[in-house]
Amino acid sequence: MGDNILAINCGSSTLKFQLIETNGEITTLGQERRLASGIVDKICGAAIIKFTSENGERLTENAEVDDHGEATHRMLDWLNSLSSLKTAGLRAVGHRVVHGGNLFTEPTLINDEVIEAIEALSYLAPLHNRPSLMAIRAARESLVPAVPMVAIFDTSFHNTLPEQAYQYAIPKELALKHRIRRYGFHGLAHQYMTERYTAITSKPIDQTKLVTLQLGNGCSVTAVNGGRSVDTSMGFTPLEGLVMGTRSGDIDPSLPGFLARSENVDIEEVESWLNTRSGLLGISGRSRDMRELLEAERQGDSSAALAVEMFCYRVRKYIGGYLAALGGADAIVLGGGIGENSPEVRARICDGMEWFGLTLDQERNAATIGSEERISVNNSRVHVYVIPVDEESIIARDTVRCLYKHLQK
């Protein structure tokens, strides 16, 4: 298994992985051979572990997993326990890292200085880089002899934003002093949807205009022109933009100060409310989970119905804005748990868009759950695609590219 890549993808309370076979290069995203894959869910408590291999070996277990470091050790121990998949022959490990700030604009070979720099960026987004750093450190400890490791940044894809899109209208000196700008996140997901769209349609990437939507617990939308991100809804942190599972998305910027004064709490407390108690959960007072809210709406819960409606309305407004920014688009692409699996939400987002030439094919929409498909009618001027996102595929591909680049130096 000399050329196999282990792709590790840490979220705030999850660790997903895929062990991917490569032949020294990955040319078609999403089509690679997966030797093993799995998830440790609900880390920092009673976690659920589900690992499977291509040969049918499985581990399904409920266990206390304190952090992403422990989750990494469990994953590597399991891989080592499979005679067919020992990590001894691993070519490299790729890690998704959420925030690269303005220091990391491309995949980067990990060494001590890189780890320190990723750590130093934590002041920009305290919650976001810690899980990956724990996984990186745990993998370094466990993998003997050492295996090269590469960091792939969720911010990199948005490095092409033009200044008019990435600047905030705040005093310039403050923006410079504190490196305040819109960084954008979910870059791997938006890049995957873009590249798969061009693969499916055989359209040259430089002639393609897309609005890509990652709709999961975290949600973001990106305007992509010629394969380059030109605007995106998440900003300095992942809090900006769409209504999300527990994040508010866009609000009046004076609200945090107002709430801190009115409730007599620190601003950090208000930030935590906006990150963890808002969005679908805050509006519905019930759940952050779209499936549960759709069900509650059917049972007559008006708060759940409002949460779903606000979610769809915000997405629709952003699509309209980005179509204006791009001067029209070839397609809207939907991914993420909600985008991939909910025909109902997709239909509600696209409702009333016929005026600019977007018409859903209701049957195709209803039949498309978790699969790659065009769901607009044949003659829709702007098409709609569902493209299930495989971030690990990008991690593996970019890890291989980064290694070869270094070998050539």
Contact flag: residue 338 with ligand ADP (CB under 6 A): yes
Contact flag: residue 131 with ligand ADP (CB under 6 A): no
Contact flag: residue 405 with ligand ADP (CB under 6 A): no
Residues 6 or more apart whose CB falls under 8 angstroms from that of 227 comprise 194, 195, 198, 205, 206, 208
Per-residue binding string, ligand ADP, 201-220, x by CB under 6 A, is ---------------xxx--
Q: How many CB atoms lie within 10 A of CB 242?
A: 23
Q: Is 187 left (phi over 0), alpha (psi -120 to 50) or beta?
A: alpha
Contact flag: residue 308 with ligand ADP (CB under 6 A): no
**Of residues 12 and 122, the one with the C-beta less far from ligand ADP:** 12
Three-state DSSP class for residue 227: coil
Strand runs (DSSP E) across 66-111, as ranges? 92-97, 108-109
Helix axes 68-81 and 130-142, enclosed angle (nearest 10): 40
Q: How many CB atoms lie within 10 A of CB 173?
A: 8
Least Å from the CB of residue 340 to ligand ADP: 7
Contact flag: residue 38 with ligand ADP (CB under 6 A): no
What letter represents residue 370's amino acid? Answer: G
**Of residues 133 and 294, the one with the C-beta less far from ligand ADP:** 294
Element containing residue 405 per DSSP (H, E): helix 391-408
Q: Rounded to an integer, what distance in angstroms lies between the CA atom of residue 148 and that of residue 140?
A: 9
Least Å from the CB of residue 213 to ligand ADP: 12
Q: Binding residue for ligand ADP (CB under 6 A) from 9, 342, 380, 393?
A: 342
Contact flag: residue 393 with ligand ADP (CB under 6 A): no
Residues 272-291 that bind ligand ADP (CB under 6 A): 289-291
Q: Rounded to an integer, what distance in angstroms lies between the CA atom of residue 328 and that of residue 147?
A: 46
**Of residues 5 and 294, the one with the C-beta less far from ligand ADP:** 294
HSE at residue 221, side-chain half, CA atoms within 13 A, is 27
Contact flag: residue 61 with ligand ADP (CB under 6 A): no
Q: Rounded to an integer, what distance in angstroms lies between the CA atom of residue 291 and that of residue 287?
A: 9
Annotated catalytic residue, options 41, 66, 112, 154: 154
Which residue's beta carbon is nearest to the bound ligand ADP? 337
Q: Binding residue for ligand ADP (CB under 6 A) from 337, 375, 382, 392?
A: 337
Nearest to 94 by CA among 1, 32, 7: 7
Contact flag: residue 233 with ligand ADP (CB under 6 A): no
Cβ distance 96 to 188 under 8 Å?
yes
154 flagged as catalytic? yes
Q: Rounded to an integer, what distance in angstroms lies between the CA atom of residue 394 and that of residue 400?
A: 10
Least Å from the CB of residue 281 to ligand ADP: 10
**Of residues 208 and 278, the one with the C-beta less far from ligand ADP:** 278
Q: Pick the stretch among 57-65, 150-158, 256-264, 338-346 that binds ligand ADP (CB under 6 A).
A: 338-346
Residues interacting with ligand ADP, by CB under 6 A?
Answer: 11, 216-218, 245, 289-291, 294, 336-338, 341-342
Q: What residues act catalytically?
A: 154
